[in-house]
Amino acid sequence: MAIVKKLIAANWKMNKTADEAVLFVEEFKKLVNNIKNAEIVICPPFTALQAVSNEIKGGNVDLGAQNMHFESAGAYTGEISPLMLKGIGCEYVILGHSERREIFNENDFLINKKVVAALSHSLKPILCIGENLEQRKNGKTEEALENQLKNCLKNITKNQISKINIAYEPVWAISRGNPNHKAATADDAESGHKFIRSMIAKMHGESAAKNTRIIYGGSMKPENAKELLAMPDIDGGLVGNASLDPKSFAEIVKSVRL
Ligand code: PEP
């Protein structure tokens, strides 16, 4: 594997006020301050980005946003631009999360515009793709992944692809806040990752595929993180519910073995 470090990213979704975020980071950074073998990212809600940005300065935790608009500025009420995210210290941005697709009607066409815009502002996208339960039951997993990849990565060049982190998030495995929800098995997750890597190889060649991080999301927690992160094609994790508690998220980070 050519991947240098695994990426473990927290997707807090619509949770935590700015004050709560500060309390989390104060505790969390003490738990992970000696971690060097993983890249750690926290993606709080927009309203806590500045507070988290201040708290993580000079440490080993990076900042990400959960969404953005594709334009730099303009008449887009309620939206946040890539320029604004850069200005506040974001390095990463989650794009195309299944909750944005399902609840806010985002489609591959829009997500592609966001991916292109993020890269042009030197933000590293965490591009979420994944099949839903119906697609899985009907044997359409690979077709769904292939379509999402082709559409969301349209106009992305061979030189750009490895700047994108692809998050394989089978929609049926996402906890939606239920700590007992079942993740994909390590084998099922690995086969999704393998397929995604083979698609990137088809689109951009073997070397680009090796250098592109593919991370797993969907009910990752301290109990299953080690097994998932040990799979050869799983280059990290996008963690929702289990990232809301500093101890639990730190345990997941510590599950990374190089
Ligand atoms: C997510 O929705 O990005 C996610 C990974 O959530 P959870 O870990 O709660 O399943």
Any catalytic annotation for residue 121? no
- Within 6 Å (CB) of ligand 1, which residues are found? 11, 169, 174-175, 217-220, 238-242
Which of 235, 236, 197, 243 has the alpha carbon at shortest distance from 219? 243
Residue to mutate (ligand 1; options 7, 100, 174; most atoms within 8 A of CB): 174
Can you list the domains of the chain with their CATH numbers? 6-253 (3.20.20.70)
For atom 3 of ligand 1, the residue with the nearest CA is 240
Which of 51, 41, 13 has the alpha carbon at shortest distance from 213? 41
Distance CA(230)–CA(149), nearest Å, equals 24
Any catalytic annotation for residue 169? yes
Q: Which one from 39, 131, 169, 190 is the annotated catalytic residue? A: 169
For atom 1 of ligand 1, the residue with the nearest CA is 240
CA of 255 to the centre of ligand 1 (A): 17
Distance CA(72)–CA(54), nearest Å, equals 23
* Residues paired with 238 in a beta bridge: 9, 217
Q: Which one from 39, 55, 69, 97 is the annotated catalytic residue? A: 97
Give the dihedral of Cα atoms 46, 22, 239, 130; nearest 10 deg. Answer: 0
Identify the pLDDT of residue 69. 98
Which of 82, 32, 94 has the alpha carbon at shortest distance from 60? 32
Identify the pLDDT of residue 41. 98
Distance CA(174)–CA(167), nearest Å, equals 12
Tokens representing 8 are 């473990």
Identify the pLDDT of residue 3. 72
CA of 52 to the centre of ligand 1 (A): 20
pLDDT of the chain along its 258 residues, tens only?
A: 567 799 999 999 999 999 999 999 999 999 999 999 999 999 999 999 999 999 999 999 999 999 999 999 999 999 999 999 999 999 999 999 999 999 999 999 999 999 999 999 999 999 999 999 999 999 999 999 999 999 999 999 999 999 999 999 999 999 999 999 999 999 999 999 999 999 999 999 999 999 999 999 999 999 999 999 999 999 999 999 999 999 999 999 999 986
Q: Please state the pTM of the whole predicted model.
A: 0.97
**H-run or E-run covering 92:** strand 92-95
Q: How far is CA 118 from the centre of its chain?
A: 14
CA of 247 to the centre of ligand 1 (A): 17
Identify the pLDDT of residue 4. 76
